[in-house]
């Protein structure tokens, strides 16, 4: 099956123009279908194996994460495909990999980011999804649920290392859903199709009619707004992977109150400084930069997601005070 690249919002590098930003601001996403060439994709795929083997440094395999049960000997010796099948997602690969770090500022990505965000752009996060056949997706959410930018400039750049299709668990989005500028409630779902991250609900859309799959050929980059509702389904292909490197960016003109403020620092002053500038100038450069984030392996939920996982009706029976914290 071939993937259509002539849909609205899909551009080639040669077609980059002000129309890209107009489409992005209206619909909350856009795609560049030829952003990364085959040599680049091969580099990213090779580096994924080195990261999973632990060759570049510790990836902090938490007890609930896939891969936690592998011994150091297995990490070193398992055949590549068997090895990476043990991982769902590694957070912050750019902290240990020069290749992943280089892709934070890949020229086509920076070109689009400066069109949709503005001249000054910083990156605060990378995530490397491996998602082998049989592995779960991630439930409906908005990235600003996790990374609060103050100026709503959060933008994901989702680099497809493999073709991403409905079958192998491509992104699904609700176009235009970022325009409300509202973060919808989330709850700790118990739906086994998805990993352990929260699920948004009570948003004013019908997923049966409003959600669309974003199928893309490998080498494409999907850009999406931090308020855009999106999810992915499990990889239901018979074999193979749906590998993606997702980097998150925002305007460097805004503070980033991400995570808990250090002791004694008010939320209004909190500014996460473990960031990488990828374009323009940083008005807050006087604060300096931190290097505190470490890679970590995301749980796939296959060993369970811990206590308190419920279906939506059960969640809605909980007192409001409890629901507010989830």
Ligand X SMILES: O=C(O)CCC(=O)C(=O)O
Residues in contact with ligand X by the rule CB under 6 A: 129, 137-138, 143, 156, 158, 171, 230, 232, 244, 246
Q: Which residue, 110 or 229, is less far from ligand X as judged by CB?
A: 229
Q: Which residue, 186 or 280, is less far from ligand X as judged by CB?
A: 186
Token pair of 297 as six digits = 């392996």
- Name the phi and psi angles at 132, rounded to 5: -70, 165
Cα diameter, the chain: 57
Instruction: Please say whether the beta carbons of 42 and 219 come within 8 A.
Output: no
Q: How far apart are CA 22 and CA 107, in angstroms?
A: 20
Q: Which residue, 242 or 280, is less far from ligand X as judged by CB?
A: 242
Shortest distance (Å) from residue 288 CB to ligand X: 28
Beta strands in the chain (DSSP E): 10-11, 29-32, 89-91, 121-129, 138-141, 155-160, 171-173, 186-187, 199-200, 212-214, 221-225, 230-232, 244-251, 276-279, 296-297
Cα angle 173, 177, 180 (rounded to 5 degrees) comes to 160
Shortest distance (Å) from residue 148 CB to ligand X: 14
Q: Which residue, 170 or 280, is less far from ligand X as judged by CB?
A: 170
Shortest distance (Å) from residue 210 CB to ligand X: 17
Handedness of CA 247, 26, 174, 216 (dihedral sign): negative
If you count them, how many residues does the chain have?
326
Shortest distance (Å) from residue 163 CB to ligand X: 14
Shortest distance (Å) from residue 259 CB to ligand X: 17
Residue in the shown chain whose Cβ atom is closest to ligand X: 232
Q: Which residue, 31 or 244, is less far from ligand X as judged by CB?
A: 244
Q: Which residue, 103 or 129, is less far from ligand X as judged by CB?
A: 129
Q: What are the residues facing 11 on neighbouring strands? A: 32
What Cα–Cα distance (Å) separates residue 38 from each residue in 41, 218, 240?
5, 9, 18
Shortest distance (Å) from residue 230 CB to ligand X: 6
Shortest distance (Å) from residue 141 CB to ligand X: 6
Q: How far apart are CA 234 and CA 241, in angstroms?
A: 11
Shortest distance (Å) from residue 304 CB to ligand X: 20
Q: Which residue, 94 or 230, is less far from ligand X as judged by CB?
A: 230
Handedness of CA 45, 51, 52, 53 (dihedral sign): positive
Q: Which residue, 54 or 176, is less far from ligand X as judged by CB?
A: 176
């Amino acid at each position: 099956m071939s993937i259509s690249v002539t849909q609205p919002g899909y551009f080639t590098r040669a077609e980059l123009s002000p129309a890209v930003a107009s489409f992005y601001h209206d619909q909350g996403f856009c795609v560049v279908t030829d952003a990364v060439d085959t040599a680049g994709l091969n580099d990213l795929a090779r580096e994924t194996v080195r990261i999973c083997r632990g060759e570049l440094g510790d990836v902090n395999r938490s007890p609930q994460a896939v891969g936690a049960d592998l011994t150091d000997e297995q990490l070193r010796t398992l055949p590549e495909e068997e090895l990476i099948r043990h991982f769902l997602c590694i957070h912050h690969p750019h902290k240990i990999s020069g290749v992943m770090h280089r892709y934070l500022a890949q020229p086509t990505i920076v070109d689009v980011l400066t069109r949709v965000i503005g001249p000054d752009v910083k990156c605060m996060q990378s995530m490397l999804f491996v998602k082998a056949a049989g592995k779960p997706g991630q439930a409906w959410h908005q990235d600003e649920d996790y990374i609060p930018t103050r100026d709503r400039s959060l933008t994901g750049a989702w680099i497809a290392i493999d073709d991403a299709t409905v079958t192998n668990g491509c992104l699904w989005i609700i176009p235009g859903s970022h325009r409300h500028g509202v973060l919808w409630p989330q709850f700790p779902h118990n739906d086994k199709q998805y990993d352990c991250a929260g699920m948004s609900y009570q948003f004013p859309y019908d997923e049966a009619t409003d959600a669309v799959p974003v199928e893309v050929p490998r080498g494409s980059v999907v850009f999406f707004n931090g308020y855009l509702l999106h999810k992915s389904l499990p990889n239901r292909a018979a074999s193979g992977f749906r590998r993606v490197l997702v980097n998150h960016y925002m305007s460097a003109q805004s503070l980033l109150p991400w995570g808990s403020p250090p002791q004694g620092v008010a939320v209004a002053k909190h500014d996460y400084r473990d960031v990488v500038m990828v374009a323009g100038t940083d008005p807050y450069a006087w604060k300096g930069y931190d290097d505190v984030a470490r890679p970590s392996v995301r749980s796939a939920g296959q060993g369970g997601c811990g206590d308190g996982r419920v279906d939506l009706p059960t969640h809605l029976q909980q007192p409001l005070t409890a629901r507010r914290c989830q």
